[in-house]
Amino acid sequence: MEHVPVLLEATMEMLQPAPGRTVIDATFGRGGHSRAFLERGARVVALDVDPEAEPEARRLAAEAGAERFRFYRMNFSELGQVVEKEGPADAILLDLGISSPQVDRAERGFSFQQTGPLDMRMDPESCVTAEKLVNELSEPELRNLLREGGEDRDPGKIARAIVRARPLHTTADLASAVSRVTHAPRPGAKHPATRTFMALRRAVNREGESLSEALAAVPRVLKPGGRMGVLTYHSIEDRAVKNWIREHAEEEKRQPGMAFGHANPERWVRSLGEAVPTEEEIAANPRARSARLRGAERLPGGGA
C-alpha cells in the first residue's frame, strides 16, 4: 500500500518548502514527508535512527541527487552536529513516534497484535530492550516508568503483574500479563496494554529526552524566520511541544499601535498554531486519528 504521510497538506502549508529553501526531516521513516518537500523544490536533509529507513533514503538520493537530498542515520537529539555540516535550515519537521512498517513487523516487538520478541528499539544498535526493562527493573521503577511514559491508570497494579509474570520474553507475554489484571481485549476497543506498550517504547528509545534535546537545539537549527513543525500522536508528547512553544513564544501584541518585538530573549519564536486531521483524512489514513501538528517560527534576530 502506498505510504500516506500524516497531515501532509497542513505540514506543507506550515513549513513552506520551496526552491532555495532547506528542510530538515528529522524523522524520515519511509520518506513520505521528505518526498513531498522535494516535489515542492526544497533541498532536504533527512535523519532517522532506524537502518530500515536507509533503502528508501538511497532511492530518494538517487532520484533527487546528492545536492538536493542528504540522509544521516542519526538520532535527532544530535541535530546540532547535522547543522554544523549542513548549515541552518529554513524549516524542520519532527514526526514523532514509530512508523507503520515498524509496528507491522512482529520481530521489532512494538505490537501487541502480533507475537514478537520484547525489543521495541528503533535503533537496533542501542543496548536497552523492552525485555531488559520488564525483567530487570524493580517494581517501583517499573511503576514510575508506566506512570510517566504512558499514563497507565493503575501503574502499581500493572507493575506488580509484570513482576509476578517474570520472566517475560515476548509481546504476547506482556500483553497477557497486563490483560490478566485489567480486562481481556475487546473487539473494537483499545487494547488494555496500549499504554503499557507505549510507556516501554518511550523508555527504551528515550523519546522524552530526545525530544527535549532536539527542542533545545532549535535556535542553532533554524535560520531567523525559519519554521518548526512537530507531529505528535499522544497527549504526553503534545503537552511537551505545547509547553515548549508557550515558554518561548512572544506574546501577541495586545494594544493597537504597540510594536511586535522580542525584547525578552527567552521569547524568540512565534506560534504558528496547530492542525488536526479532518474526518476524510482519518478515513483514508487511520494512523492519523490521534495526530496533532504544532508549529513555531523563529523571530528574525531572536534565539541567539
Ligand X SMILES: C[S@@+](CC[C@H](N)C(=O)[O-])C[C@H]1O[C@@H](n2cnc3c(N)ncnc32)[C@H](O)[C@@H]1O
Question: Which residues have a Cβ under 8 Å from the Cβ of 255 and sit 6 or more positions away?
Answer: none
Q: Quick check: 210 binds ligand X (CB under 6 A)? A: yes
Give Dmax (Cα) for the chain. 67
Task: Spell out where 233-284 has E strands.
Answer: 269-275
Closest CB to ligand X among residues 71, 268? 71
Find the binder of ligand X among 32, 150, 155, 295 (CB under 6 A).
32
The set of cell numbers assigned to 217 is 537545539
Q: Quick check: 198 binds ligand X (CB under 6 A)? A: no
Task: Show the DSSP H helices in 182-264 as ranges.
Answer: 194-204, 207-221, 235-248
Q: Quick check: 150 binds ligand X (CB under 6 A)? A: no
Q: Quick check: 75 binds ligand X (CB under 6 A)? A: yes
Per-residue contact track with ligand X, 250 to 289, x per CB under 6 A? ----------------------------------------
Number of residues near ligand X (by CB under 6 A):
22
Closest CB to ligand X among residues 159, 199? 199
Q: Quick check: 109 binds ligand X (CB under 6 A)? A: no
Residue type, position 301, single letter: G
Provide the minimum distance between the beta carbon of 50 and ligand X in the complex, in angstroms, as a whole number.
4
Q: Quick check: 122 binds ligand X (CB under 6 A)? A: yes
Closest CB to ligand X among residues 92, 177? 92
What is the torsional sign of CA 69, 73, 75, 81? negative
Please report, as residue ranges, which positions from 212 to 231 form the binding site for ligand X (by CB under 6 A). Answer: none
Cross-strand pairs, 230 = 94, 294
Please give the C-alpha separations between residue 263 and each of 80, 268, 299, in angstroms, as whole numbers: 26, 9, 11
d(CA 55, CA 240): 32
Q: Quick check: 29 binds ligand X (CB under 6 A)? A: yes
Please give the C-alpha separations between residue 36 and each of 11, 33, 92, in angstroms, as whole numbers: 10, 5, 14
Provide the minimum distance between the beta carbon of 56 and ligand X in the complex, in angstroms, as a whole number.
8
* Residue 270: count of CB within 10 angstroms of its CB: 22
Q: Quick check: 129 binds ligand X (CB under 6 A)? A: no
Give the footprint of ligand X on this chain (CB under 6 A): 3, 5, 27, 29-33, 47-50, 53, 75-77, 95, 97-99, 122, 210
